[in-house]
Structure 1
Amino acid sequence: MTQLSVPSQLAAPAAGPDHRGLDLERKARLVSGGDTFRTSGEPALGMRPIVCSDGPVGVRGERWDEADTALLLPCATALAASWDEELVRRMGALLAAEARRKGVHVVLAPTLNLHRSPLGGRNFECFSEDPLLTARIGAAYVAGVQSLGVAATAKHYVANDSETERLTVDARVDERTLREVYLAPFEAAVRAGVWAVMSAYNRVNGTPMVEHPLLVEPLKGEWGFDGLVVSDWGAVHAADGPGAGGCDLAMPGPNPAWGPALAAAVRAGRVPAAVLDDKVARLLRLAGRVGAFDPPPPGGPAPVPVDAATRGALRAAAVAGTVLLHNPDRLLPLDGPALRRVAVLGPNAATARVQGGGSASVFPAAPVSPLAGLRAALGPSVEVVHAPGVRTGLRPTPLAAADCTLPDGSAPGVLVRYLAADGSLVHAEHRSTGRVLEPAAEVDLAPVRTVEVAARFTAPSSGRWRLGVVGLGALRLEADGAVLLEEYVAPLSDDPTYLHVSPSFRQVELELAAGREVALLARRTVESAHGRVLVLAADPPEAELEREFAHAVELASAADVAVVVVGTTDEHESEGFDRTSLQLPGRQDELVAAVAAANPRTVVVVNTGSPVLLPWREQVGAVLTCWFPGQEGGDALAEVLLGHAEPGGRLPTTWPDTAADCPVYATAPTGGRLAYAEGLHLGHRGWLRTGRTPAYWFGHGLGWGDWHYLALGAPSAPAPDGSRTVRVTLRNDGPRRSRETVQLYLSRPGSAVDRPVRWLAAFATAEAGPGEQVGVDLRLPARALAHWSPDRPGWETEPGTFVLHAGPHCGELPLAAALSVDV
């Protein structure tokens, strides 16, 4: 699209250094990235490059490798499950400190897209299915990050709610639905003062978001956003449309379709000069806000903080997001002193599955698994036994230090060598696993043409082991000098995350006896477009998997309690693809059913980023979800199971009983178009509209209390901003002190406009001891009563009677009161 007029909001004066002395080419270069994660600097203005890093659960920095570790927070869904804005604000500030530690100015988070379908591959990176919950939690995240002078980035603007064909999909959304649902969290972020917004890859109603009018109105006009709009990585393919519109910075760079081409478009009159000046002014304003005009801090990155206070904060966040779904006979909390033998089972028990896949992932220094957390909490007096029971991996498993040594046998781990074209050694290093993304040290890799990973592998059991190699280009795999695999592997996708998230792999089988040692060597050529990722992997024989299943059930039958940790991994939930099923991967459902039959005192921990089906949920003693809980997840889980802390979470997304009942399910477009035909009625709104009952409603969650809702007071008169206060009185009749999330919904019987059956309008928390009665004041904003009118256009409030509904979740609202509105 070509836009020759200059919108008034783009021509407004901007604070910051005077850039009028810069020539056209230098201005265009400034708004075209300098490299993968840096903008271009400008010495004439004293401006250093602005450094960006992916979020939202950690600050990776400019490197993507296990040698560069970072603090890891609970996933966005877990943070939203806390329904606790102050906690999220603290987590945002923790991320900002991490950013400062790593020399990062801009955190590319939060992700404010919605859980439109439970299949969304990136749901774990988004907060909720509900626009209000997402808006409030997202605004708190922004405030926390920016409290230390680091920019937050609200992304991906807008309707980027699935991953299938994500680079090109055309989301078809009506204007009212956009305003009330999908734009609402972004508006809240702008009102909270967010400094950057990222435009999405997708199209909306036919126009690519990187050049969409929505970047101008309502973002920069009606909402008054004075920050920077940055493209998603690689989304800018031409100068005219994005250049004339609201996109301010093309990343990564340098981008030949933007810098010189943008200058040429301005010179030819296809892009107004004032529009380019506004882009530069916005970039300089951001640079001033994040300190890019200040001298660089001395020294390099500080070590990852692993002090008790930091770990405690991350553990508390994981506890706050843990949702107790099912506990009919109060199996939880467990009676720790009475325990003598605990079986900790499942594929996610011993391996800490703490995050989803994609650009949101980081490498935590010391993640705590459920098994490790329980062993530490229970101590030596309790025997804790373990078996995975099943395996769920979709890709080859990298060699682990426990099963391999350097080629000379001197230490556990693998040897990585980077070789020049003539075979000479450029760099070598000792790594702990067979997964290698980048060198651990700063090395000039320009001469590198080959990467090798070598190790001596000892087979833990007998059978046909599957040996694998992950990477692109010419691959070679050897065992004791014999060539097992030699093949050229071409990339299957042009998605920017393909090389790191799901690069191609090859596997071969090799018969090995238990204890047999074999020298393995994986080698690949290096081509500039293919990166340097190389993984040497080994997976056990099928017969071993059958033995593992039987062993897990046997351990469960002889234990006082069985804790089964099931779930997904970053292979199943990731940027770059959507899930194809809501079933737990592999034979996990079979494992739970078999364990529950062997031991009725079975607790199931669901370790996923978004909903899965739980066909056995009524057969087990308790079910809770810890989501992807971050690096301290194992210790947090132990605190909850043993009753040292109360599970504080409430579901931010509805969990279905069957996939067929989901009001929105499919994520695949038809003919490149994805119709948001449900309009306003996604998530729990859709469930209420269809009259179907899910497994667990939006807002559901149990704790150690037993709450009774007693009274819903009449709403107060409107405050100057139009908001009203509503008081809910409730009592904790449970045996322990407890925290409750009080939720307020609205309905509008007989409305003249299409509305949800009910919609979330406010929430707040109550806390009380046994038998204690408390009152909670909820703020009902004026916007909760309004709807968007495309005809006029604007926000309108329909006169008449609304009904307030209060309770513990959207499917259980015992209190109601009328609210008459005169406009």
Structure 2
Amino acid sequence: MFVFRVSRPTERYCSLGPNGVRGTQFFNGVPSSCFPSSTGLASSFDLELAYKIGEALGDECRAKSCHILLGPTVNTQRSPLGGRGFESFSEDAVLNGEIAAAYINGLQSKGVSATIKHYVANDQEHERFSVSSELSERALREIYLKPFQIAIRKSDPWALMSSYNRVNGLHVSEDKRLLDDILRKEWGYKGMGLIMSDWTGVYSTAESIKAGVDLEMPGPSVVRGPAVLRAIQAGKLCTDDVDDRARKVLELLGKAHESGIPFNGPEEGVDTPELRQLLRRAAADSVVLLKNNAGLLPLSAPTSIAVIGPNAKKAMASGGGSAQLLSTYTISPLQGITEAVKAINSQVNYAVGATSHKFLPLLDALIKQQDGTSRALLEFWNEPPSSDFISPHADLSLSPKQSVWDTKTSTSNCILLDGVNAEKVSPSCWTRYSTTFVPDESGDWEFGMSVAGIGNMFIDKKMVIDQSTNTKYLESYFGAGSTEVRAIVQGMKTGQEYELEVRLSNAEFISRGPPFPSWGGFRLGGIRVIEGQEAIQEAEALAKTSDVVILVIGLNHDWESEGFDRDDMKLPGLTNDLVFKVLQANPRTVVVNQSGTPVEMPWIDEADTVLQAFYGGNELGNGLADVLFGKVNPSAKLALTVPKRLEDNPSYPSFGKKCQEYGKVLYNEGIFVGYRGYEIKNAVPLFPFGFGLSYSKFDYSDLSCSEISSDGKFSVRFKITNSSGIEGREVAQIYISDVESSLPRPVKELKGFVKETLKAGETKVITVFLDRDALGYYDERKSSWIAEKGEFVVLVGASSADVRMKRSIELKSTFSWVGL
């Protein structure tokens, strides 16, 4: 029998993804490149770009001495409300799987293991450790397993992560049918083929080992280790079971040795002109042009530009949770637009207009230490450094005894999962955070603090926020921290320095049994108090006196994050009021919505010009500016259907905490997910799947198809012409419709796509090769895929709703198959 034990250093060789390489530390880590969110990347429909991003992530993994990247995420976009929806690619299995495969191939070309996740039907955050996704075998196969199947066939990821949830009552980490019968036997997922759990996602010893989970994460093991020996003694496991699991770990370890990436090597960042250019290209290529009715875009030498909105001044580079990372740098929309117009001397003015935060914005840009070397000092003690250290009435004029360890940090968001010297700081500890706060605007300021433990915040030695006497939990810190408590400090002055201190004890947090080993933590935020209508009026006045308005609105990592789902599709706060008022003040307004998943747009009929920008990574501001001013011709298409209202989404009302039945969420829509559901009900969405405009115009012609071979292979051939005077790129989409079927099928399904660059006036002949997957559906009665003889229709177009050409083809004989 192999003797194998996972300890915490095993995590040293993994890094969170999928839109960046966090590195070894959640707190105070080495800064990383942040690429666009997965919904943005998928909306590019660009396999070459996905491959190049995979390569870049591989280079950064190597620089950080990281052997395994925990990505990509290929869970199906079932509802707009999914908290981690921005981390997954699409509602469509083909687009999801194809983009994932390209990403994986690029990453693994650098000798770094991908970890495709979260297998499977892990589509909501509410009760994610226990909820049972209740769905039919056909829906499981055609919608939820399919992107994993495609990616495994086309890229062979070296690792796979099982999900937290149950599927039809059984935790995936204990489901031998899913992990062994389907994944390893039916699909032939062998090679490296390591299966690891999600973090704390193993709930049993013998059951998870027999099911096929090779590695419990994180270490040290909780349900394995000594428990495995007890299970062997009891006859619940045999040594072969353990050997099979250990063998997979050792095989991946051998692959890691072959990569040449050092173990316990240095951790460095990557920042080159080539990487910055790729980040900028990725940001621009993920921007979808939704409306350009008045021909306002691309902008041409405006004399004055008003940049307005809550997402304009701060770079919303990523969604939240484990996907969020410390970026090497970020370019906000305001910065990108200002830089873009320097050469033409356009005047750029800014107004916030409305706020959209759920938690007050971090203080990172407004804090510093007196010596200017970093932004804050964090000190630790293993026992109370003074009798009143956590008291609201603590005497801050008295210096506590010498700390056992200290570190400097650049952030006011200190999630102390790591980055702390465990040899000096005990699990239960006391912490002091000290810095100087320098406001950038005069007025009353509102501060907010949430804690993992108990603590207080002081400004100029006076307590401002009490989180030590009546702390309320279960909101922050992955659901185990406190609510945010807020307080106002009046009459603060621009540029004046204020002493800011936080004192914290994590003992209460530790006693409550946190989900992850941790030294506790806290989050500080603050913003000048802004009266809502006054801010809107200021934005209106600026819009009226400007040649063009660029209104940047949307969500941020407060609203789309790990650990919770959205309650609705509404934009936060007074955002919609702001949009209506600005559009009335100046019709020459470009509305830029930035979100990882769809939002309601009640003002859409009043807006002539609308862009969907997603979370664009480091270069989101420059990428957006490139599209606005025509340096880049937009070519992205929506990877998600945008409904007019939440009730139109096929998953409604069977998603989230309000719709569960005793720990179960019923996938009542079956296979009719995303555009399939809208079309079968003839419900018109706000913007259909695959939709996106260009500054060019493209015409389609001359569709032809080869005969279908006996094993289901055929080709589709057509022409695309750029009939405009500007070079552009077009995403042509191939859908298949089964005219008559034994079982209900979608009106049509995406089965292929191609992205082509065409010069002005150029025509290209496009050939797309398809196979049996384009024809078949899953037959639960026979436990196999089946393609039924008869007529199929090939549909080619610019979106799911913009079909330009059709042609019938015939499959002469029915056939079935099992496996990849």
Q: Which amino acid aligns with 1:727?
A: R
1:297-329 CA-partner distances (Å, limit 9, x unpaired): 695123x22221100011111222211111112
Aligned to 2:478, which of 497, 514, 524? 497
CA distance in 1, matches of 2:422, 2:23: 17
Do the aligned partners of 1:471 and 1:489 also contact (CA within 8 Å) in 2?
no
Asked whether 1:362 is paired with 2:362, we answer no
- Give 1:462 deviation, angstroms: 6.1
1:476-518 CA-partner distances (Å, limit 9, x unpaired): 222332334442576845998346xx75332223333545754
Runs of at least 5 residues in structure 1 that lack an aligned partner in the other structure: 1-19, 40-49
- Give 1:607 deviation, angstroms: 0.9
Do the aligned partners of 1:328 and 1:622 also contact (CA within 8 Å) in 2?
yes
| Partner residue in 1 for 2:684 | 693
CA distance in 1, matches of 2:364, 2:798: 45
Q: Which amino acid aligns with 1:146?
A: Q
CA spacing shift, 1:339–1:534, aligned 2, 3 Å: same
- Give 1:444 deviation, angstroms: 4.5
CA distance in 1, matches of 2:147, 2:117: 10
Do the aligned partners of 2:651 and 2:668 also contact (CA within 8 Å) in 1?
no
Q: Which amino acid aligns with 1:596?
A: L
CA distance in 1, matches of 2:424, 2:627: 47
Aligned to 1:796, which of 786, 797, 816? 786
| Partner residue in 2 for 1:237 | 203
Q: Helix, strand or coil for the counterpart of 2:690?
A: coil
Aligned to 2:767, which of 757, 761, 777? 777
Q: Helix, strand or coil for the counterpart of 2:718?
A: strand
Do the aligned partners of 1:477 and 1:522 also contact (CA within 8 Å) in 2?
yes
| Partner residue in 2 for 1:285 | 251
Q: TM-score, normalised by structure 2?
A: 0.90
CA spacing shift, 1:741–1:123, aligned 2, 3 Å: same
Do the aligned partners of 2:30 and 2:267 also contact (CA within 8 Å) in 1?
no
Do the aligned partners of 1:473 and 1:488 also contact (CA within 8 Å) in 2?
no
Q: Which amino acid aligns with 2:797?
A: G
CA spacing shift, 1:386–1:144, aligned 2, 3 Å: same
Asked whether 1:480 is paired with 2:460, we answer yes
| Partner residue in 2 for 1:506 | 485
1:92-241 mapped onto 2 (5 Å cutoff) = 92-191=54-153, 192-212=155-175, 213-226=177-190, 227-241=193-207
1:568-614 CA-partner distances (Å, limit 9, x unpaired): 11000011111111111111111111111111110011111111111
Do the aligned partners of 2:374 and 2:408 also contact (CA within 8 Å) in 1?
no
| Partner residue in 1 for 2:398 | none
- Give 1:285 deviation, angstroms: 1.0
CA distance in 2, matches of 1:333, 1:418: 54
Do the aligned partners of 1:171 and 1:675 also contact (CA within 8 Å) in 2?
yes
CA distance in 1, matches of 2:544, 2:424: 55
Q: Helix, strand or coil for the counterpart of 1:291?
A: helix
Asked whether 1:581 is paired with 2:568, we answer yes
| Partner residue in 1 for 2:276 | 311
- Give 1:346 deviation, angstroms: 0.5
Asked whether 1:539 is paired with 2:530, we answer no
- Give 1:645 deviation, angstroms: 0.8
CA distance in 2, matches of 1:245, 1:374: 53
Aligned to 2:353, which of 348, 365, 389? 389
Q: Helix, strand or coil for the counterpart of 2:229?
A: helix
Q: Helix, strand or coil for the counterpart of 1:221?
A: helix
Q: Helix, strand or coil for the counterpart of 2:213?
A: coil
- Give 1:368 deviation, angstroms: 0.7
CA spacing shift, 1:490–1:292, aligned 2, 3 Å: farther
Q: Which amino acid aligns with 1:71?
A: S
Asked whether 1:680 is paired with 2:671, we answer yes
1:415-426 mapped onto 2 (5 Å cutoff) = 415-421=377-383, 422=385, 423-426=401-404
- Give 1:559 deviation, angstroms: 1.3
| Partner residue in 2 for 1:373 | 336
Do the aligned partners of 2:738 and 2:775 also contact (CA within 8 Å) in 1?
no
- Give 1:389 deviation, angstroms: 1.0
Q: Which amino acid aligns with 2:309?
A: G
- Give 1:67 deviation, angstroms: 4.9
CA distance in 2, matches of 1:208, 1:495: 26
1:724-769 CA-partner distances (Å, limit 9, x unpaired): 1101223222221111111111112232211011111111123322
Q: Which amino acid aligns with 1:786?
A: G
- Give 1:97 deviation, angstroms: 1.0
CA distance in 1, matches of 2:363, 2:251: 47
CA spacing shift, 1:293–1:700, aligned 2, 3 Å: closer
CA spacing shift, 1:134–1:551, aligned 2, 3 Å: same
Do the aligned partners of 2:195 and 2:215 also contact (CA within 8 Å) in 1?
yes
Q: TM-score, normalised by structure 1?
A: 0.90
CA spacing shift, 1:211–1:493, aligned 2, 3 Å: farther
Instruction: Count the aligned residue pairs.
Output: 776
Identity, % of aligned positions: 33
1:639-654 mapped onto 2 (5 Å cutoff) = 639-654=626-641
Aligned to 2:22, which of 37, 56, 60? 60
Q: Which amino acid aligns with 2:446?
A: R
1:703-742 mapped onto 2 (5 Å cutoff) = 703-718=694-709, 722-742=712-732
Do the aligned partners of 1:354 and 1:631 also contact (CA within 8 Å) in 2?
yes
Do the aligned partners of 1:604 and 1:624 also contact (CA within 8 Å) in 2?
yes
CA distance in 1, matches of 2:733, 2:365: 49
CA distance in 2, matches of 1:137, 1:165: 29
CA distance in 1, matches of 2:261, 2:149: 34
Aligned to 1:437, which of 402, 415, 433? 415
CA spacing shift, 1:111–1:405, aligned 2, 3 Å: closer
Do the aligned partners of 1:450 and 1:526 also contact (CA within 8 Å) in 2?
yes
1:73-92 mapped onto 2 (5 Å cutoff) = 73-92=35-54
Do the aligned partners of 1:704 and 1:735 also contact (CA within 8 Å) in 2?
no
Do the aligned partners of 1:465 and 1:538 also contact (CA within 8 Å) in 2?
yes
1:674-728 CA-partner distances (Å, limit 9, x unpaired): 111111101000000110111111000111211122231133453x863211012
| Partner residue in 2 for 1:623 | 610
1:499-541 CA-partner distances (Å, limit 9, x unpaired): 6xx7533222333354575433211013355533223333322
| Partner residue in 1 for 2:390 | none
Q: Helix, strand or coil for the counterpart of 1:220?
A: helix
Runs of at least 5 residues in structure 2 that lack an aligned partner in the other structure: 386-400, 814-820
* Farther-moved stretch of structure 1 (624-633 vs 372-381): 372-381
